[in-house]
A and B are shown apart, each in its own frame.
Chain A
Amino acid sequence: MIRHLPWLLTGLVGAVSLGVVAVSRGETVNALWIVVAAVCCFLVAYRYYALFIARHVMKLDPTRPTPAIRRADGLDYVATDRTVLFGHHFAAIAGAGPLVGPVLAAQMGYLPGTLWIIGGVVLAGAVQDFMVLFISMRRDGRSLGELIRMEMGQMAGTIALFGAFMIMVIILAVLALIVVKALAESPWGMFTVAATVPLAMVMGAYTRWIRPGRIGEVSILGLVGLLAAIVYGQAVAQSPVWGPLFTFTPVQLCWILIGYGAVASVLPVWLLLAPRDYLSTFLKIGAIAALAVGIVIMAPPLRMPALTAFANGGGPVFSGGLFPFLFITIACGAVSGFHALIASGTTPKLIASETDAPLIGYGAMLMEAFVAIMALVGAAILDPGIYFTMNSPAALIGNDAASAAHAVSAMGFAISPETIAQTARDVGEHTIISRAGGAPTLAVAMAEIFSHVVGGPAMKAFWYHFAILFEALFILTAVDAGTRAGRFMLQDLMALAVPRLNESKSQIPGFVATALCVAAWGFFLHQGVTDPLGGVNTLWPVFGISNQMLAAIALMLATAVLFRMKRDRYAWVTLLPTAWLLVCTLSAGWLKLFSADPAVGFLAHGAKFSAALAKGEVLPPAKSLEQMERIVFNDRVDAALVAVFLAVVVSLMVFTLRTCIASRRSAVPTVNELPPHPVAA
């Protein structure tokens, strides 16, 4: 009993902190309450729930050889120290998602987001990562598509593979859109990000020829280069010659990114992708750690209300009410389907013992949820007036400080034009109005926190551009790596249709697949950039729906596996989050398709605009009949996309049900695990 005492205490502290966060109204709450509540809840969940799943649901067996033992080759399959592997896995799952979603969700106040991140990760997100890792670990580290094929049949596997490809496309488009939003009309930001390309190439040459394999050395070299780029970026931005050369409109940036994606994904990996990955990975880990330290030192008060009026819908950042849209807006951080691809990627091939799986699978996801909590805190410590100025579409609040201040004050968050202009000056930007996408908002928050700790107000502009660079850098790495991964997914799918393709040694299928992949995400990026509503408003919900659907698919696989193992009585562990995700995504998808409110439903929005078009009218925010046609077309494409996602998830639901019923009828386990002990060869 004594050994439970410290945990009981941790739980109590967590419960009290959560209580303070939840019931305070009117008085200001310190951000540390949220941080403490989250950390305590995560520790207790790890100690009890993760171990419960490990011991009773999975029955992890330390004597059972993992893929790293069974197929040891010193390269892909290596038994790795669990602390080292934790770092590897965390770096692979943590990206821009947990930083963006919570910032957008802050429009409803900090409370709904906090509760969903904490509850979601403990009961759904971490369970999903852990279960997929477990399933893959017992099957030689196979990938999600193969696992679904093994346990639920060929057809189910192909549908899942197709769904995963579509999700990849949407993720790439949304990530690229965030970069566009952050770098448009910002010569300082654009210069520093552009400087990373030649910088990475120099680093690539260094690791290729001068000192091969010296990752540490070359990363330090790169970091010095990056800091120099940020420092000189200010002078470049202010120069009458250079400033305009690095100032781009969103549409120009969109084409630059599409061109970049196409070229970068066919360059040799050592030249650009690998060195930039070093920089972005280490910078990401460093910035996350610094943010945690900064929040603890500064202990800022939360200025956003716990709940805003937008919890009922009608918010400017994304449309729709708390249910179901909060639960798809915060995807990564609470539960992210994309992790199923990572947890069935390199990690299961590196795990040394089955009993390391809770730390890696469950623990790393808790860590990501902590990152999401910090992002939420970042958004909530800003003046709400600034938050809504930055995150509302220009169609609602206009483009100048006076109109924005007027519109945002009318929302109930009083702000003066002077404050808006001053904030922009502080961070060294021309304007901060309508910079949706999460990254710029978080950068302003990080500039507040970092400048409080190091450098004071004079350093704000530096820290702002540091934060923008850090986010843009790893998003660009993801665009590059994602285009390559998407290309292989597409080639696999094409090979299923035309088996001859896989045998040909020609480069052409590769180029065709790359071009198709870039064209696919480029289409949605262009749509988002030219969307008069700002793009994030439209695309982020589609991304959220798709990501949560992949999570539902992964959890359905886990449920099917538990049934096939004859562990039905523990199936609630995965059924509970599956049911919740299905309810959220199916209702969100349904609303996005069929809601009569044009702000929410794609079809209603399209119908409204096409009716006006038939009468020759131009409805704002469109400015011409051509824009009207584009809006109608985009609405229909988005509706079709959501319909495809719904079809994918519903069909996999049927496959899961079939698998579960079949295994109920069988008296013995039918699962396709490898035997616990290798047969002597």
Chain B
Amino acid sequence: MSLIATLRRMARLMVGVPDYDDYVRHMAAHHPERPVMDRKAFFRDRQEARYGGKNGGRCC
């Protein structure tokens, strides 16, 4: 991974958004029969997971 790509991924994961392509690859490899979220749905799903649920704890 290039430095820029690493930093980009790092910044996105810092706010709770993992890599979309990883997700698509995972779905294709393991659950080809299930529907795959598009980028927009994926983003909203991750946003809800980070802030709406129990993972809201950030440090002091």
Chain B residue, CB-CB nearest to A88: B13
Q: Which size class do B's interface residues fall under?
A: 35 or more
Q: Mark A567-585, 1 if CB is under 8 A from B, else 0.
A: 0000000000000000000
Residue of A76, A80, A274, A481 near B57 (CB, 8 A) is: A481
Give the CA-CA distance A168 to B54 in the complex, in Å.
13
Name the distance in Å between A205's Cβ and chain B's nearest Cβ: 14
Interface residues in A68-112 by Cβ distance below 8 A to B read: 72-76, 78, 80-81, 83-88, 91-97
Interface residues on A, range: 35 or more
Is B9 within 8 A of A482, CB to CB?
A: no
Cross-chain contact A212 with B10 (CB below 8 angstroms) = no
A469 to chain B, nearest CB (A): 18
A485 touches B (CB below 8 Å): yes
Cα-based distance from A83 to B59 in the complex (angstroms): 20
| Proximity bits, B35-53, A CB within 8 Å = 1, else 0 | 0000110111111111111
Cross-chain contact of B26 among A72, A143, A213 (Cβ < 8 A):
A72
Central interface residue in B23, B47, B52, by most chain A CB within 10 Å: B47
Contact of B45 among A75, A86, A338, A481 (CB under 8 A): A75
Report whether A345 and B57 are in contact in the complex, using a CB–CB cutoff of 8 Å. yes
Could you say which of A74, A84, A331, A477 has the most chain B C-beta atoms within 10 Å of its C-beta? A74
Cβ A485 vs Cβ B54 within 8 A = yes
Known contacts A74-B26, A76-B49, A336-B60, A88 near B14 by CB under 8 Å: yes
Residue of chain B at shortest CB distance from A207: B43
Write the nearest CB–CB distance from A575 to chain B, whole angstroms.
Answer: 25
**A94 and B6 contact, CB distance less than 8 A:** no
CB of A72 within 8 A of CB of B30, answer: yes
Nearest CB of B to A513, in Å: 12
Cβ-based interface call for A420 (8 A): no
Nearest-neighbour CB distance to chain A for B32, whole angstroms, equals 13
> Please, what's the 1-or-0 string for A326-348, where 1 marks a CB less than 8 Å from any CB in chain B?
00000110001011011001100
Contact partners of B15 in chain A: CB under 8 A: 215, 274, 277-278, 281
In the assembled complex, which residues on chain A have CB atoms less than 8 Å from the CB atom of B14? 87-88, 91-92, 281-282, 285
Which chain A residues numbered 490 to 521 have a C-beta less than 8 Å away from chain B?
none
CA distance A171 to B60 in the complex (A): 7
Does A675 make an interface contact (CB < 8 A)? Answer: no
Q: How far is the CB of A86 from chain B (nearest CB, A)?
A: 8
**A379: Cβ under 8 A from any B Cβ:** no
Render B19-40 as a binary contact track against A, CB cut-off 8 A, 1 for contact: 1001111110010000000011
Q: Check if A81 sits within 8 Å of B6, measured CB to CB.
A: yes
A74 touches B22 (CB 8 A): yes
Which of B27, B42, B46, B59 is within 8 Å of A92, CB to CB?
B59
> In the bound complex, what is the Cα–Cα distance between A297 and B57 (angstroms)?
35
Q: Which residue of chain A has the shortest Cβ distance to B36 in the bound complex?
A: A74
How many residue-residue contacts, CB under 8 A, span A and B?
136
Interface 1/0 per residue, A300-320 and B, CB below 8 Å: 000000000000000000000
Residue of A nearest to B12 (CB): A215
A213 touches B51 (CB 8 A): no
Which residues of A have CB within 8 Å of B16? 346
Given A78-B18, A83-B10, residue A212 in contact with residue B60 (CB < 8 A): no
Check: A175 CB closer than 8 A to any chain B CB: yes
B51 to chain A, nearest CB (A): 4
The residues of B that contact A336 with a CB separation of less than 8 Å are: 59-60
Residues of A within 8 A of B51 (CB): 269, 273-274, 277, 481, 484
Count chain A CB atoms within 10 A of each CB in B18, B19, B40, B46 and give the residue with the most. Answer: B18
Instruction: Please judge, given known A-B contacts A84-B6, A88-B14, whether A75 and B49 are in contact too, CB under 8 Å.
Output: yes
Q: Find B56's partner among A143, A216, A484 (CB 8 Å cutoff).
A: A484
Q: State how many angstroms separate the Cβ of A479 from the closest Cβ of chain B.
A: 10
How far does the Cβ of B53 sit from chain A's closest Cβ, in whole Å?
7
Between B42, B49, B55, the greatest number of chain A beta carbons within 10 A of the residue's beta carbon is seen for B55
With the chains together, A331 CA to B57 CA distance in Å? 17
B17 touches A215 (CB 8 A): yes
Which among A95, A274, A278, A484 is the interface contact of B59 at CB below 8 angstroms?
Answer: A95
**What residue in chain B is nearest A95 (Cβ atoms)?**
B59
The verdict on A270 contacting chain B, using a C-beta distance below 8 Å, is yes
Tell which of B13, B25, B40, B54 touches A212, judged by Cβ atoms closer than 8 Å: B40
Query: What residues of chain B lie closer than 8 Å to A78, measured between beta carbons?
Result: 18-19, 22-23, 26
Given the complex of chains A and B, what is the CA–CA distance between A175 and B57 in angstroms? 14
Chain A residues near B56: list those with CB within 8 A: 481-482, 484-485, 488
Q: Are A478 and B22 in contact (CB under 8 A)?
A: no
Interface centre among B1, B6, B11 (most CB of A within 10 A): B11
Q: How far is the CA of A338 from the CA of B57 in the complex (A)?
A: 9
A212 to B39, CA, bound (A): 8
Q: A74-B24, A92-B14, A338-B57 are in contact. List 5 more A-B contacts (CB 8 A).
A: A212-B39, A332-B60, A482-B57, A485-B57, A543-B60
7 contacts between A and B (CB under 8 A): A91-B14, A92-B59, A213-B39, A215-B11, A274-B51, A336-B59, A342-B59
